[in-house]
């Protein structure tokens, strides 16, 4: 599952732009991840300037829905 | 519908506020929505703009002009330094103030401005197009109607997605940026600094933009698929290397999109301006001037559309046509230039900086025609010329 470290997040919105499936949305209150939409493609992980996003390697697969 | 307007603008950055100001000026009922409780915060911007990019839209005001830039320092990967003297190079702004003043101007002309109002979706009409927005207005769910919706919601534009405009950005089309506002440094107040090289910022560059009183925006951009290392780590290293001592006031991150000619700016009655439309100079990453220009043109076209009764959406296509007529060739040229830039080795960049040293010599530059200059650089080196030819033709 995609994990966000809120301490590191600069709320810049770049991850939202590179997300091909619309799983991320930036609110004034912070970044929101829709895990049902996330395909774990890692675009946001690669883009993030701070390393605030990463794929949890232990549970590293998408939840089934 | 809780309230109806002629036009709703999503996002109160320079593009949105300029559109709101232009519409309000011509007597159109306009609502400007900003999701954050304050305008200009958080800011993801290096705050530099060329003189010509600013002058034509607003008169420079000492209240938000931090510094005037007369010199540009370029540092090549092998540490060759070149200073270009250019008295009219540009400004470093205080965008927290600039953005607020622009929004206040729009409000004073009659625009309604709401802060802490996040748009969460667009409302569709039963026939064609969109008739308004769903908003979380200070925590309350509201629906506001409009004949035209302008998306000025930045690089992450959800207005584009909701309108069905393809807005996917590949990792090669966006720069991953980190910047710190630092204090207590000895930087020359009329000089911008640019640093090149894969050690400093692969697929990008580092900048030092003085804001006066020993304060500076120091940041860098990297192309994210070039390196596993994060922009933030490159910045930490650059700061340590460039400055003996400094204090970080705040740090910001950002995504700077590259212009994509294939991307649409209008769909039905939704228009995209500024970063939302990826109207960025792809080589330098500069976007404020294009944001102001696109906001102004979008405002003018929307105003005419509404005054003429607003029946056929085709009138709104005029926005994209006029903007691209004025800026299209420049935006496309910078896009090609970026493609060439991304193929340059450190040795190529050293050669380009060397060429510039010969090109400018000691003369004071009165005006730089960037396209002519880039063409000259590319022509100066056979390898670069070959790269350009392969990309363009």
pLDDT tens profile B264-293: 999 999 999 999 999 999 999 999 999 999
* d(CA A45, nearest CA chain B) in Å: 10
Boundary-marking domain end, from B231, B257, B283: B257
Residues of chain A contacting B277 with CB distance shorter than 8 Å: none
Among all residues of chain A, which has the CA nearest to that of B116?
Answer: A28
Assigned domain for A64 exists: no
* Residue-level pLDDT at A64: 47
Assigned domain for A48 exists: yes
The whole domain housing A9 covers 2-55
Assigned domain for B145 exists: yes
Among all residues of chain A, which has the CA nearest to that of B120?
Answer: A27
Asked if B190 and B251 sit in the same domain, the reply is: yes
Q: Which of A9, A14, A47 has the most B C-beta neighbours within 10 Å, making it the best mutation to test the interface with B?
A: A14
- Which of B:10-69 have CB within 8 Å of A? 35-37, 42, 44
* Residue-level pLDDT at A57: 66
Among all residues of chain B, which has the CA nearest to that of A53?
Answer: B230
Nearest to B37 by CA among B128, B139, B120: B139
What CATH number is given to the structural domain containing A15? 3.30.70.20
* d(CA A64, nearest CA chain B) in Å: 25
Assigned domain for B333 exists: no
Asked if B248 and B320 sit in the same domain, the reply is: no
Per-residue pLDDT for B304 more than 50? yes
pLDDT band at B393 (very low <50, low <70, confident <90, very high): low
pLDDT band at B392 (very low <50, low <70, confident <90, very high): low
- Is there a contact between B44 and A16 if contact means CB atoms under 8 Å apart? no
Query: What residue spans of B214-268 are helical by DSSP H?
Result: 231-242
Assigned domain for B384 exists: yes
The answer to whether B255 faces chain A, any CB pair under 8 Å, is yes
* Residue-level pLDDT at A46: 95
Asked if B249 and B107 sit in the same domain, the reply is: no
Assigned domain for A17 exists: yes
pLDDT band at B389 (very low <50, low <70, confident <90, very high): confident
Residue given tokens 């930036």 in the structure block: A26
Interface residues of chain A, partner chain B, Cβ below 8 Å: 10-18, 20, 22, 24-28, 43, 46-51
Residues of chain A contacting B161 with CB distance shorter than 8 Å: 22
Assigned domain for A10 exists: yes
Among all residues of chain B, which has the CA nearest to that of A18?
Answer: B169
Asked if B385 and B317 sit in the same domain, the reply is: no
Per-residue pLDDT for A21 more than 80? yes
Residues of chain A contacting B118 with CB distance shorter than 8 Å: 27-28
Per-residue pLDDT for A65 more than 50? no
Per-residue pLDDT for B66 more than 60? yes
Asked if B80 and B127 sit in the same domain, the reply is: no
Per-residue pLDDT for B314 more than 60? yes
**Element of type H or E holding B23:** helix B14-25
- The beta strand positions in chain A, using DSSP E, are 2-4, 24-27, 30-33, 53-55
Complex ipTM value: 0.85
pLDDT tens column, B233-254:
999 999 999 999 999 999 999 9
Assigned domain for B202 exists: yes
Percent with pLDDT over 90 in chain A: 77
* Residue-level pLDDT at B99: 98
CA distances from B236 to A36, B73, B183, B185 (A): 35, 21, 15, 15
Asked if B360 and B309 sit in the same domain, the reply is: no
**Element of type H or E holding B65:** strand B65-75
Percent with pLDDT over 90 in chain B: 83
* Residue-level pLDDT at B383: 82
Asked if B284 and B384 sit in the same domain, the reply is: no
* d(CA A46, nearest CA chain B) in Å: 6
Tell me what the mean pLDDT of segment B327-342 comes to.
92
Q: Which of A48, A49, A53 has the most B C-beta neighbours within 10 Å, making it the best mutation to test the interface with B?
A: A49
Per-residue pLDDT for B390 more than 70? yes
Q: How many domains does chain B have?
A: 3
Tell me what the mean pLDDT of segment B114-129 comes to.
93
Tell me what the mean pLDDT of segment B100-117 comes to.
98
Per-residue pLDDT for B53 more than 60? yes
Per-residue pLDDT for A59 more than 70? no
Per-residue pLDDT for A62 more than 60? no
Asked if B252 and B265 sit in the same domain, the reply is: no
Residue given tokens 């748009």 in the structure block: B119
Residues of chain A contacting B257 with CB distance shorter than 8 Å: 17
Question: Distance between CA atoms of B104 and B94, rounded to whole angstroms?
Answer: 16
Assigned domain for A61 exists: no
Q: Higher confidence at residue B389 or residue B48?
A: B48
* Residue-level pLDDT at B366: 75
Asked if B86 and B180 sit in the same domain, the reply is: yes
Per-residue pLDDT for B355 more than 60? yes
What CATH number is given to the structural domain containing B317? 3.50.50.60
Q: How many domains does chain A have?
A: 1
Q: Which of A17, A31, A39 has the most B C-beta neighbours within 10 Å, making it the best mutation to test the interface with B?
A: A17
Asked if B119 and B153 sit in the same domain, the reply is: yes
Boundary-marking domain end, from B223, B257, B291: B257
Q: Which of B35, B174, B251 sits opposite A17 (nearest CB)?
A: B174
Assigned domain for B250 exists: yes
pLDDT band at A60 (very low <50, low <70, confident <90, very high): very low
Asked if B310 and B244 sit in the same domain, the reply is: no
- Is there a contact between B255 and A15 if contact means CB atoms under 8 Å apart? yes
pLDDT band at B78 (very low <50, low <70, confident <90, very high): very high
Assigned domain for A62 exists: no
Tell me what the mean pLDDT of segment B352-372 comes to.
82
pLDDT tens column, B2-33:
999 999 999 999 999 999 999 999 999 999 99
* d(CA A49, nearest CA chain B) in Å: 5
Buried b (16+ CB within 10 A) or exposed e, B177-192: bbbbbbeebebebebb
The whole domain housing B205 covers 48-94+171-257
* Residue-level pLDDT at A58: 56
Across chain B, mean pLDDT equals 94
Q: Higher confidence at residue B139 or residue B389?
A: B139
Residues of chain B contacting A12 with CB distance shorter than 8 Å: 44, 155, 177, 252-255
Q: Which of B118, B156, B230 sits opposite A50 (nearest CB)?
A: B230
Q: Which of B155, B161, B278 has the most A C-beta neighbours within 10 Å, making it the best mutation to test the interface with A?
A: B155
* Residue-level pLDDT at B25: 97
Phi, psi of B179 (to 5 degrees): -145, 145
* Residue-level pLDDT at B320: 97
Percent with pLDDT over 70 in chain B: 99
- Is there a contact between B253 and A14 if contact means CB atoms under 8 Å apart? yes
Asked if B8 and B154 sit in the same domain, the reply is: yes
Assigned domain for B264 exists: yes
């Amino acid at each position: 599952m995609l994990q966000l470290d809120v301490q590191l997040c600069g709320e810049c919105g770049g991850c939202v732009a590179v997300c091909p499936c619309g799983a991320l949305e930036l609110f004034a209150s912070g970044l929101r991840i829709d895990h049902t939409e996330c395909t774990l493609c890692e675009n946001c992980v690669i883009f993030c300037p701070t390393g605030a996003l990463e794929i949890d390697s232990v549970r590293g697969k998408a939840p089934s829905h | 519908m809780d309230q109806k307007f002629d036009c709703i603008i999503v996002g109160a950055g320079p593009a949105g506020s300029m559109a709101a100001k232009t519409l309000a000026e011509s007597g159109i009922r306009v609502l400007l929505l900003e999701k954050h409780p304050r305008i200009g915060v958080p800011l993801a911007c290096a705050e530099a703009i060329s003189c010509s990019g600013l002058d034509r839209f607003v008169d420079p005001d000492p209240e938000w002009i931090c510094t005037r830039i007369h010199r540009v320092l370029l540092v090549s990967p092998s540490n060759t330094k070149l200073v270009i003297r250019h008295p009219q190079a540009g400004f470093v702004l205080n965008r927290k103030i600039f953005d607020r003043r622009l929004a206040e101007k729009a409000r004073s002309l009659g625009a309604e401005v709401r802060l802490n109002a996040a748009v969460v979706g667009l409302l569709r009409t039963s026939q064609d197009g969109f008739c308004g927005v769903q908003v979380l207005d200070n925590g309350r769910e509201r629906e506001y109607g409009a004949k035209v919706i302008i998306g000025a919601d930045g690089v992450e534009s959800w207005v584009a997605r909701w309108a069905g405009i393809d807005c996917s950005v590949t990792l090669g089309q966006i720069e991953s940026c980190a910047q710190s506002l630092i204090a207590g440094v000895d930087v020359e107040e009329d000089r911008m600094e640019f640093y090149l090289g894969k050690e400093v910022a692969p697929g990008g560059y580092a900048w030092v933009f003085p804001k006066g009183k020993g304060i500076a925006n120091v940041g860098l951009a990297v192309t994210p698929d070039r390196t596993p290392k994060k922009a933030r780590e490159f910045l930490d290293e650059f700061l340590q290397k460039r400055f003996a001592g400094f204090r970080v006031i705040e740090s910001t991150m950002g995504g700077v999109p590259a212009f994509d000619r294939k991307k649409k700016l209008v769909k039905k009655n939704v228009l995209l301006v500024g970063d939302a439309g990826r109207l960025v100079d792809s080589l330098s990453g500069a976007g404020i001037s294009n944001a102001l220009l696109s906001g102004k043109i979008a405002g003018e076209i929307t105003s005419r559309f509404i005054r003429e009764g607003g029946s056929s959406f085709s009138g709104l296509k005029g926005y994209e046509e006029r903007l691209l007529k004025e800026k299209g060739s420049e935006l496309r040229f910078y896009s090609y230039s970026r493609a060439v830039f991304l193929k340059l080795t450190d040795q190529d960049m050293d050669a380009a900086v060397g060429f510039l040293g010969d090109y400018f010599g000691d003369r004071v530059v009165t005006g730089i025609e960037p396209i002519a200059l880039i063409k000259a650089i590319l022509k100066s080196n056979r390898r670069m010329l070959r790269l350009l030819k392969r990309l363009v033709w």
